[in-house]
Structures are given as C-alpha cells and as structure tokens.
C-alpha cells in the first residue's frame, strides 16, 4: 500500500481491496456521487461526499456501484448528531 499524503484531510478506502485513497486536489463535490479509480486494484468505485449543514463536518461514503450508495437523507452527523442533509434528491 502506498503512503497517502499525510496532509490530506479527506481519506477513504476502496471497498474492494481496502487501498487508502485521498482527494488531495478536492475534486469531489458535496452530494454528487463520483467515480474513483483505485490505485491498488485499478477498479472503479463510487464515492459520495456529504457535508453536515449544521457543523460542516464531512462524511465520505464508498460503494461498489452508484446504486449501492447510501441514502444521504438517512445519515446523521458523527460530530453533532444532526441529520446531514435536508430533503435532497439522490441521483440513481
């Protein structure tokens, strides 16, 4: 496993092989699922960045496919306990 930049704040792991990844260029948009290619197994997986509307904490969800991605309306913030997003339409 390659070392991931220690100054990167947004880290997540490939759901297939566990290789750690980092959004060092901040290309992920909040509430917009994105395809991400794993540097370890070279397979593509889905990444969803969620931001708490109350305290600004970020949560990253990974899934093998977009249809398996969590429903953002059901997620609560680990920092403040509030629902992460209000009434939002999650793309399929």
pTM to 2 decimal places: 0.77
Q: What is the pLDDT of residues 11-28, one digit of tens each?
A: 999 999 999 999 988 889
> According to the model, what pLDDT value does residue 22 have?
93
What does the angle CA 79 – CA 88 – CA 61 come to, to the nearest 5 degrees? 50
């Amino acid at each position: 496993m390659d070392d991931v930049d220690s100054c990167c704040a947004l880290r997540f792991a490939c759901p297939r092989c566990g290789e750690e990844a980092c959004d060092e260029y901040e290309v992920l948009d909040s509430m917009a699922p994105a395809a991400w290619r794993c540097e370890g197994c070279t397979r593509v997986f889905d990444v969803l960045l969620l931001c708490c509307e109350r305290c600004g904490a970020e949560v990253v969800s990974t899934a093998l496919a977009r249809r398996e991605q969590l429903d953002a309306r059901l997620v609560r913030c680990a920092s403040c306990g509030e629902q992460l997003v209000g009434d939002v339409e999650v793309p399929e």
